[in-house]
Structure 1
């Protein structure tokens, strides 16, 4: 695996993780300001924002999916597999962020 691929994998993971965690925490602050239960708001935001975190991490548009389609049609599997791995990495980052928010909302006890 080249350094550029490893770098993109780490960045995609961290971006998706950060979007879910940051959005949820800031939403929780907004909930406190509006006298709402922050744990419910944070979990709801984390759940709803996961897909958008993945999209933002891999480029923010439909282009990565189009790249997969084009490369498979032309018989180039390596670039298509690379894009799929980027998407999976972003999914894992978003899911880890969601799990952390759930853990925080349960008071840090047993999940």
Structure 2
């Protein structure tokens, strides 16, 4: 159980960091390119969300393969764990996206 929570927490924070860090660095780039930073930050956060989830769960099709092979073998617990890891990664990416929206709320009209 402890290993599961550690992996789930790590997936959450990896996805969170990818969205938050990527969108903030995009904002810095927007300043250099003379573009509106808040708009670029918001757009980047939304576009990075799915990629943050993919990166957090392993960056490939392997988690989906684990789900399929375990369900085929009749083992539900490992498949449920993989689904939970995906959910935690989604929650991390979504939380970061909402935080970016909150931070940029007054800057974009």
TM-score (norm 2): 0.95
1:25-71 residue CA offsets vs partner (Å, 9 max, x unmatched)? 00000001111100110011011110000000000000000100010
Q: 1:33 corresponds to which residue?
A: 32
| Equivalent position of 2:97 in the other structure | 98
Separation in structure 2 between the aligned mates of residue 76 and residue 107 of structure 1, nearest angstrom? 49
Number of the residue aligned with 1:67: 66
How far, CA to CA, are the matches of 1:102 and 1:84 in structure 2? 27
Unmatched 5+ stretches in structure 1: none
| RMSD (Å), alpha carbons | 1.0
Structure 1 residue 107, shift from structure 2 partner: 3.8
Matches of 2:31 and 2:106 in 1, distance apart?
16
The equivalent residue for 2:77 is: 78
| Structure 2 segments unaligned to the other structure (5+ residues) | none
| Cα distance in 2, alignment partners of residues 40 and 15 from structure 1 | 23
- Looking at structure 2, the residues matched to 107 and 8 of structure 1 have their Cα atoms a distance apart, in angstroms, of 36
Could you tell me which residue of structure 2 aligns to residue 12 of structure 1?
Answer: 11
Shift of 1:15: 0.1
Q: CA deviation at 1:87?
A: 0.1
What is the aligned residue count? 107
User: Could you state the TM-score of these two structures normalised by the residue count of structure 1?
Assistant: 0.94
Instruction: Give 1:106 deviation, angstroms.
Output: 1.1
Deviation beyond 6 Å, 4+ runs, structure 1: none
